[in-house]
Chains A and B, each alone.
Chain A
Amino acid sequence: MALDFPNSPATGQQFISGNTVWQWDGAKWVSVGPALARPSNPNKLLNPFMEIDQANEGATRTMAQGGYAVDGWITAAANSGAAGNTQRVTDAPPGYPNSLKFTLTTTGSALAAGDYCQLYQIIEADELADTGFGTSAAQSLALSVWVKANPSGTYGGVLINLAQTRAYSFTIPISTANTWTLFTQLIPGDTAGSWVTSGNAGGAILLLSAAAGSSRAIAPGAWTAISPSVNGPTGMLTNFFTTAGATFQIGPCKLEVGSTATPMLRQSFQQELARCQRYYEKSYDPGIVPGTASVQTGVSLFLLYGAAGAATVGTTIPFSVTKRASPTLTAYSSVTGAAGKARDAATNVDMPCTPSANSRSCYWTANVNTPGTTNLQLQWVADARL
């Protein structure tokens, strides 16, 4: 089987095919050993195998909606006349379970200066503590990502600090449409600029791009001082929004400290879910979209005290994982799915409820409908995403 090595590799760049790692020595690709036998650096990216999708559970997010398409990954696109959607799909490179796919459902107009189409992740600052970015000790980062797209052409990506004042862009050549390609990119450490590399705020944005208008593109291959709203490198394809059925898909990916890409190691579903729950947690079982009428899972509020007349019930619920910050909380009636409501199980009425929370737990209160009611039921979502 012919190997589809990256075009124009940098010396030292590595390419993984199957269990073999190839390295470009400046003139040719040389096998440097089995991939699985090599140590693997920690992955900076959340949900790198696109498996966890707590908010949508595989349903589409339209281009107009944007936002988190799976845990950790945000979709955003703009073009006059174009329509599309993004969703988790099971089409993935061999051996992997999922990918994240943007599909153009209505072709748009010719690429305008301010247009863009991107899938991106905001990386929490604490994840950057060992990068030394913004100092003379800045470390290189190695990015590896599986990409599949239609049409073929030059796609791109950018690493940006959260203040959007520094950016490094690179091109992603897709020589064959609709074919999974493993792309690797070495990103030199940024010794300048303002980088936040500790704390629970955002630290950097990794953006993978199918379209970037002229006002949103910068020259690839160098750290550049920018103004906000950079979405890709110059030289990208310009016909993405005008190609019927265009798709842009990212599969397993890894961003790590180091000068070479090391193997992607998949954690268990439970381990990755726990990482994601730092940012988003729900009472529903995996597979159930928040807002679904669902009595079988979730939480009951039990009467703490009662008296003749209205009584208030409440309970504290510890989170499975400490949240990044105090989360936004939404209740859903377990019977109707109505937002902001708990279900009075004795009288079959949805009642307003009130939460409070810190990063460790949430506390819910609600008034019972009539005296004597002994429990209310609700589902909930805690959202501390970046």
Chain B
Amino acid sequence: MQYYQPPSPIEGMPASDCIVREDGAWIPPDPANRDWVAYQEWLAEGNTPTEWPEGGPTFVQAPPSPPPTEAA
């Protein structure tokens, strides 16, 4: 798992307090958000988020699932 620390979306504005997961999901700092809880656990393991690369990260994305194969 990888997380990115995003920059300010608009020049002059403060940086976002969200964290961005490797799949492009923006996670708000809400202790009731399970993704934020998972991020805190990831930090507690000694990990640190990656700096936002120039031009933005290339997100990992699973392709949409194939059509369901119905099996009764």
Contacts and interface: CB of A to CB of B under 8 A. Distances in A.
Partners in one complex: yes
Interface of A: 56-60, 87-91, 101, 103, 200-201, 289-292, 312, 324-331, 337-341, 352, 354-357, 365, 383-386
Interface string B28-48: 101011111000000000000
19 contacts: A57-B65, A60-B69, A87-B68, A90-B70, A90-B72, A91-B71, A201-B32, A289-B64, A291-B64, A312-B9, A312-B10, A326-B30, A327-B33, A328-B21, A328-B27, A329-B28, A330-B25, A339-B61, A383-B35
State the 3 A-B residue pairs at the shortest beta-carbon distance, nearest first.
A340-B24, A59-B65, A339-B24
Contacts of A324: 32
Interface residues on B, range: 35 or more
B23 interface: yes
Given A90-B70, A312-B9, 18 more contacts: A57-B68, A58-B67, A58-B68, A59-B64, A59-B66, A60-B65, A60-B68, A88-B68, A89-B68, A289-B65, A291-B61, A326-B28, A328-B33, A329-B28, A339-B25, A340-B20, A365-B10, A385-B34
Main secondary structure of the interface of A (DSSP, over half): loop
A338 B59 CA distance: 8
A331 B67 contact: no
A325 B33 contact: yes
Contacts of A90: 70, 72
B68 A354 contact: no
A339 B64 CA distance: 11
A352 B33 contact: no
A368 to B, nearest CB: 13
Nearest to B10: A312
Contact of B26 (A56, A88, A328, A385): A328
A167 B66 CA distance: 38
A62 to B, nearest CB: 10
A280 B18 CA distance: 19
B2 interface: no
B9 to A, nearest CB: 4
